[in-house]
A = this chain, B = another copy of it.
Amino acid sequence: MAPKKQDDIGQIINSIRGINYILQRQSKELMKSLKITGPQLGALRLVSRYPNISLRELSERMYLHVSTVCGIIDRLETAGYLTRCRNDEDRRSINISLTDKGIRAVKTAPLTGFSNMFHDLQKLPAPSVRKIRRAMEHLTKMMNIEINDMRHIS
């Protein structure tokens, strides 16, 4: 008997659930090995790429609410990975910069989450990647999802 559309749909949904599960699990493994969480490492990577970034810009690049990122930065500062510094030109803003410990962490941290997926995808031949992209675009178009500019790699 021919495989059913129903089964295909179930498999698609399970794949997305599985991807989310894997991303979460990798974050937990990171926590065990480095005493740091996935979102925290994501923030460190962004501060490394954009030195003296403000909290507002960081939260935009992480696609998270400012208050969420504020808490993440709190914990990273307490743990000694970065420092907050008032901006002299606009004293409402802060500049976030890595400490030596933070620089070391970014250098030694393993690939996790989307960075890892990125790495894996680059090993596939271009036509396969193109096929996956087309399928994903079909999905997001169907769900009316706007993909504007999501640069963040967590």
Q: Which residues of A does B touch, CB under 8 Å?
A: 3, 5-6, 8-9, 11-22, 63, 114, 116-118, 120-122, 124, 126, 128-140, 142-143, 145-147, 150, 152-153
Residues of B within 8 A of A22 (CB): 143, 145
Query: How far, in whole Å, are A5 and B139 apart by their CA atoms in the complex?
Result: 19
Query: How far, in whole Å, are A129 and B21 apart by their CA atoms in the complex?
Result: 23
State whether B19 touches A140 (Cβ < 8 A). yes
**Which of B11, B122, B134, B147 lies in contact with A136, CB distance below 8 A?**
B11
Min CB gap A140→B, angstroms: 5
CB-nearest residue of chain B relative to A22?
B145
State whether B13 touches A114 (Cβ < 8 A). yes
Residues of B within 8 A of A13 (CB): 114, 117-118, 150, 153
Identify 14 residue pairs between A and B in the complex whose beta-carbon atoms are under 8 Å apart, listed by A's number: A8-B132, A9-B118, A11-B133, A12-B132, A13-B117, A13-B150, A15-B133, A15-B136, A15-B145, A15-B147, A17-B114, A18-B147, A132-B135, A135-B136
